[in-house]
Amino acid sequence: MHESQDHIHSPLLIKINKFCEYGCRSRTMPMIIVVLFLSFCNPIPGVKIPMEEFILGYNLEKPDARYKLPGYLEEISGLSYYGKGKIACVQDEQAHIYVLNLEKRKIISKYKFGDDADYEDISVVGKTAYILRNNGDIYRIKNFKKKDRKVKKYKTPLKEKNDTEGLAYDPVSNALLIACKGSPSIDKENQYEGFKAIYKFDLEKEELGGEPHFLIDLERLDSYSAQSAFKRRSVQVAKKVRLIESATSFQPSGIAIHPLKGEIYIISSVGKLLIILNNEGKVLDVNELDPKLFRQPEGICFSPSGDMFISNEGQGGKGYILKFRFHE
């Protein structure tokens, strides 16, 4: 796997430097540093973690644009590319669709679709908007720009325990992918412990699949993170001294499908990670997000040309959207 050492290692190295500055007087610090670098140079014999060759195509350290949002979008929770140079957004308290004009760098429209609640993501398909609530409900708003817009609610088997936060339209199967931040299971007796789930809502049948479409193995995510950082043993040591976070803290907050390559991108505000799956659900890449740049990443979408947009909640300040140009 080819990784950009800059964007993979920088947040980690920053933490190591800070830790060293803080703990340089500790008797154990020299031993920790020696162990880290020896294990980096000498990976565990026989341990092989299968990885596909993959190139991200984005510089996650240097956004090409930053769009500041008004105060009422401090808690922006989801976004979807809409038309030429526009992004549709939702926030997790009010039933409004906001449209951001990228050229004018401001919100130009607002459309109300229902009662206030915890809305987590949006996916616009043609003139129809689909909006996901945290309890698994999906709202379909046809002709959402018109005053006589028609709203239909789909009540899925998913519940608040699943904490549904990510929504993406899959044009190949004409379905919606739903990422669960919370419990991966619908039924109590089938918990899928140690996994995070992606469910699929068939738009033609208007029903949710009874089983997860994809299951993300959190232990395997740790293995991928280990290989892309120091090699497995070094990362385990780093975790013990809290230099880096475990991938098992991964909790999906946004999901999108790359329009040109078909891969599935999933972000997690908890743990500050961006992972990439192929269309069969296999992990292709794991990327650490710099918390200084990504304050609280909640939503992700793509333009038709592959440019990536990631929304961040303000956490007491103003929310914002980062743009990353796609480089093939």
Give me the DSSP letters along 7-32.
HHHHHHHHHHHHHHHHHTTSTTHHHH
What gap in Å lies between CA 256 and CA 60, rounded to an integer? 16
What gap in Å lies between CA 99 and CA 82, rounded to an integer? 8
pLDDT of residue 178: 98
Contact 149, 143 (CB under 8 A): yes
Contact 100, 122 (CB under 8 A): no
What gap in Å lies between CA 17 and CA 24, rounded to an integer? 10
pLDDT in tens, 28-82: 554 444 444 444 444 433 433 344 456 689 999 999 999 999 999 999 999 999 9
What gap in Å lies between CA 60 and CA 154, rounded to an integer? 36
pTM > 0.85: yes or no: no
- Residues counted in the chain: 328
pLDDT of residue 51: 44
What gap in Å lies between CA 34 and CA 37, rounded to an integer? 5
Quote the mean pLDDT of the chain.
82
pLDDT of residue 223: 65
Scored b (16 or more CB within 10 A) or e, 224-259 reads bbbbbbbbbbbbeebbebebbbebeebbbbbbbbeb
**CB-side neighbour CA atoms (13 Å) of 62:** 6
pLDDT of residue 250: 87
Neighbouring residues of 132: CB distance < 8 A, sequence distance ≥ 6: 78, 119, 120, 121, 122, 138, 139, 164, 165, 166, 167, 178
Break the chain down into helix, strand, coil percent, rounded to 5: 20, 35, 45
18, 57, 197 from 103: Cα distances, Å: 39, 23, 36
CB atoms within 10 A of CB 313: 24
Contact 122, 111 (CB under 8 A): no
Tokens 């920088």: give the residue: 10
99, 115, 148 from 145: Cα distances, Å: 10, 17, 9
Along the 328 residues of the chain, how does pLDDT read in single tens digits?
333 333 334 444 444 454 445 444 445 554 444 444 444 444 433 433 344 456 689 999 999 999 999 999 999 999 999 988 999 999 998 999 999 999 999 999 999 999 999 999 999 999 999 999 999 999 999 999 998 899 999 999 999 999 999 999 999 999 999 999 999 999 877 789 889 999 999 999 999 999 999 999 988 876 665 555 443 334 444 444 444 445 457 899 999 999 999 999 999 998 899 999 999 999 998 898 999 999 999 999 999 999 999 999 998 889 999 999 998 7
pLDDT of residue 249: 75
Tokens of 119: 């809305």
Sign of CA dihedral 50, 56, 62, 66: negative
Tokens of 246: 């475990």
With residue 237 as reference, give the H or E element that holds it: helix 232-240
Residue 27 Cα to chain centre, angstroms:
39
CATH architecture of 5-324: Beta Barrel (2.40)
- Quickly list DSSP for 186-219: SSTT---TTEEEEEEEETTTTEE-SS-SEEEEHH
